[in-house]
Amino acid sequence: MSSFRKRLPTSQPKPPPATRINPHSAQLLVSTGVPSLDDVLGGGLPVGGVLLIEQDRQTGYSNTLLSYFASQAIAAGHKLCMVNADREIHLASQLPGWAGVSRGKPTESTGISADSVQDDSSDKMQIAWRYQNLPRVDGHSEPDSGPSPVSAADTPYCEKFDLSMRIPQAAIDSASIEVIDSDAISSTMASTGSDMYKCVLDKISALIDDGFSSLKPLPQNTERNILRIELQSLGSGFWRGSDPNAILKFLHGLRGLLRYSYAACVVSFPAYLYEEAGVRLPIVRRIEHLCDAVIELESFEGSYAAPSSIVARQIKGEAPASQEYHGFLHIHKLPRLNSLTASMGRLSILQTGGGSANNLAFRLRRKKFSIETYHLPIEGGVTERRVPAKEEPKSSSSSSSSRLPSGAGCGSTPGRKDPLEF
C-alpha cells in the first residue's frame, strides 16, 4: 500500500478574500488600491508588513494614497482601522468611489451620474497598436505575478477607483470600520494615564486579538479576513509621547504584533518635520529601519523654490515635464518578508532594478493617481513650431548662393569661364 495520499482541495483552508500569493516568497499579499504602487512593491503589500509613506511638504498626495487604501478595504470586505490624531475623519467625503464592473454602475448616493464615467476604450493606443497586447499596469489587466486570488465571493484583488466619485454611504454603513481619532485617544489617555502611542498600540493589539491573530485558531466554518490599519501623519505635532523615542518604541511594538497576524499597515510620516538646516535627523533612518517598505513622495509644488516662481513657470510653460507629472517617487526600502531579496525586480513592470533606477514619477489626474516611469518631454515641446514661418527671411547663405551666375560651378570664379566646361 502506498504511503502517499492525494491532497484534496477541500482540505486546504481558503485564503482571505481579495488576496494573492507571492510565487517567490509564498507571502500573502493585499492590494494598496493603486495598481502601479502594487507593481512597484512587487505585487502588493505583504500581510504582516508595514508600508511607510514619507509625506511631502505643502501637499496632500500621501492622503490620496491612504484614501485608496481605505476604499480598497471597504471594496474587498476587510476590516479597516483608521487612526488620525490631526483632524476629524469624514469617510463619505474623503474616500474615492469605485468604477469597476464588478461593483456595478455608480448609484445616486455617489452624487455623480453614470453618464459622467468615461469608457476605458479612450486609454487605448491609437498609433502603437502593436503594443496593445503587452502587460499594462491598470485596474484590471495586471502583470502575471502569481496565482489569481481565490475566495468564496470571488472578490477582485484590486478594485478600480474613480477620484471624481465618492464612496456610497450604504457601503460605509455595511463595512467594518474602527475609527480612532483625537477625541477617542484623549479620553483613553485621561482614563489610563498613558501616552498617545501606548493608547493607540493597545487598541490595535485588541483588534488583532479579536479574530486576526495567526496564533489563535478560528472556530470551524469561519473564514479568515484581513485587518487593514491606516495611520495618518504619525509623528506630527499632534502625537504626544512620554519621551523622544516613543515613536521608535511604537513602531517596534507594532511590527511585532503584525508579524503574527492577518493584518497590513500603511503609515504616513511627515519626514520634513525632522530636519535641521535641510539635513534629516538620524531618527528618520531608524524609523525607516523599523518598517518593511519605505517610499517618499517628492512633489514639484513642495520644493524649496519660491511659490511665485513655481506659478510663473506653470503659466509661461517653461517646465513642460513638471506640468505633465506632479512629483518624483523615491523607493528607499522594499518588502523582503520570508525572503532575502525583494521580488520587485522579477514581478514589476515599472522597475527592473533596485532603488529608483528608472526615475519613477507620479501624477494625479482627475480620476486616478498613477505612478509611471519619468521621461523628458519631446525636444521643443508640443506647443513650439518645428518649421520656420513663411514670413521669415531666408538665411544669408541661401541668398548669397542665389546671386551667383548660372555658369559658375564649384570652385570657379564669378565672371570667368569655367575651365571644366567643354
10 in any annotated domain: no
301 in any annotated domain: yes
CB atoms within 10 A of CB 275: 12
What is the tally of structural domains in the chain? 1
Alpha carbon of 357 to those of 56, 137, 296, 335, 345: distances in Å? Answer: 21, 19, 15, 17, 11
Q: What is the dihedral of CA 321, 322, 325, 329, to 10 degrees?
A: 110
55 in any annotated domain: yes
C-alpha cell, 1: 500500500
What pLDDT was estimated at residue 76? 93
SS3 417: coil
What pLDDT was estimated at residue 141? 41
What pLDDT was estimated at residue 110? 35
CA-CA distance, 26 to 339, in Å (whole number)?
A: 9
Q: Which long-range contacts (CB under 8 A, 24 or more apart) does 247-254 make?
A: 247/197, 247/283, 247/287, 248/283, 248/286, 248/287, 248/290, 249/197, 250/197, 250/198, 250/200, 250/201, 251/50, 251/287, 251/290, 251/291, 252/290, 253/201, 254/50, 254/201, 254/204
Report which secondary-structure segment, H or E, holds 369: strand 369-373
| Contact call for residues 20 and 157 (beta carbons, < 8 A) | yes
Q: Which long-range contacts (CB under 8 A, 24 or more apart) does 102-106 make?
A: 102/156, 102/159, 103/75, 103/159, 106/165
Alpha carbon of 80 to those of 66, 102, 218, 265, 266: distances in Å? Answer: 12, 21, 20, 10, 11
Cα torsion 69, 70, 74, 78: sign:
positive
CB atoms within 10 A of CB 12: 9
Q: Which residues of 225-256 are buried (b: 16+ CB within 10 A; e: fewer)?
A: bbbbbbbbbbbeeebebeeeebbbbbbebbbe
| Contact call for residues 82 and 179 (beta carbons, < 8 A) | yes
User: Which CATH number fits the domain that encloses residue 269?
Assistant: 3.40.50.300
401 in any annotated domain: no
Nearest Cα neighbor of 80 from 242, 266, 243, 218 is 266
SS3 329: strand
What pLDDT was estimated at residue 69? 96
Nearest Cα neighbor of 65 from 90, 40, 89, 37 is 37
CB atoms within 10 A of CB 313: 16
Q: Which residue has the cell 522579477?
A: 346
9 in any annotated domain: no
Q: Return per-residue pLDDT of the chain as tens, 422 residues.
A: 567 766 665 556 788 999 999 888 888 999 999 999 999 998 899 999 999 999 988 788 999 999 999 999 999 999 999 998 777 778 888 899 987 544 433 333 333 333 333 344 445 545 455 445 555 666 444 444 333 333 334 688 999 999 999 998 899 999 999 998 878 888 888 877 778 899 999 999 999 999 899 888 888 778 889 999 999 999 888 887 778 889 999 999 999 999 999 999 999 999 999 998 889 999 999 999 999 999 999 988 765 555 445 455 545 444 455 568 888 999 999 998 877 777 665 667 776 544 445 588 999 988 889 998 887 655 544 444 444 545 555 555 444 444 555 555 555 566 666 666 65
338 in any annotated domain: yes
What pLDDT was estimated at residue 394? 53
CA-CA distance, 336 to 341, in Å (whole number)?
A: 6
What pLDDT was estimated at residue 391? 54
| Contact call for residues 37 and 20 (beta carbons, < 8 A) | no
8 in any annotated domain: no
385 in any annotated domain: no
Q: Is 404 left (phi over 0), alpha (psi -120 to 50) or beta?
A: beta
What pLDDT was estimated at residue 421? 65
User: What residues have CB less than 8 Å from 99, skipping those under 6 apart?
Assistant: 106, 117, 160, 161, 162, 165, 367
SS3 201: helix
Range of the domain at 310: 21-107+134-372
